[in-house]
């Protein structure tokens, strides 16, 4: 989580936003579109098997097309994968 927060801080140059998203993205000052994207990524991370067409529709209502939905899915899935590999190999543990 720290690496992701640091990437957000470096990209946006907004340390307050980065800390707020890291602490609780639901209370951070995000657009409804950004929050919908993160809600989807969290659901995918915690219960991918529960993703339904209605979840895609919520994203569409926030301006994401099929390509955007695919990109969100692939990026979140890749991070889930690589984090699990790192955890299993003990990467980053001291």
User: Can you say whether the dihedral through the CA atoms of 78, 45, 52, 38 is positive or negative?
Assistant: negative
pLDDT of residue 67: 98
Element at 22 (helix H, strand E)? helix 15-24
What pLDDT digit, counting tens, does each position of 13-66 carry?
878 888 888 888 888 899 999 999 999 999 999 999 999 999 999 999 999 999
Task: State the DSSP H helix or E strand holding residue 19, giving kind and residue range, or none if neither.
Answer: helix 15-24
Task: At 63, give phi and psi (nearest 5°).
Answer: 95, 5
Model confidence over 54-77: pLDDT tens digits? 999 999 999 999 999 999 999 999
Q: Name the DSSP class of 48.
A: G
What does the alpha-carbon distance between residue 67 and residue 57 come to, in Å, rounded to a whole number? 13
Q: Please name which of 79, 69, 78 lies closest in space to residue 33, comparing C-alpha atoms.
A: 69
Q: Which residue has better confidence, 92 or 78? A: 78
Domains in the chain, CATH or no CATH each: 1-29 (no CATH), 31-94 (1.20.1290.10)
> In which residue are the tokens 């946006």 written?
12
């Amino acid at each position: 989580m720290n690496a992701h927060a640091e990437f957000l801080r470096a990209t946006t140059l907004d340390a307050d936003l980065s800390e707020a998203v890291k602490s609780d993205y639901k209370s951070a000052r995000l657009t409804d579109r950004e929050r919908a994207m993160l809600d989807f990524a969290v659901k995918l991370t915690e219960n991918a098997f529960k993703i339904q067409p209605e979840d895609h529709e919520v994203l569409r209502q926030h301006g994401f097309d099929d390509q955007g939905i695919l990109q969100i899915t692939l990026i979140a899935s890749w991070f889930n994968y690589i984090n699990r590999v790192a955890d299993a190999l003990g990467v980053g543990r001291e």
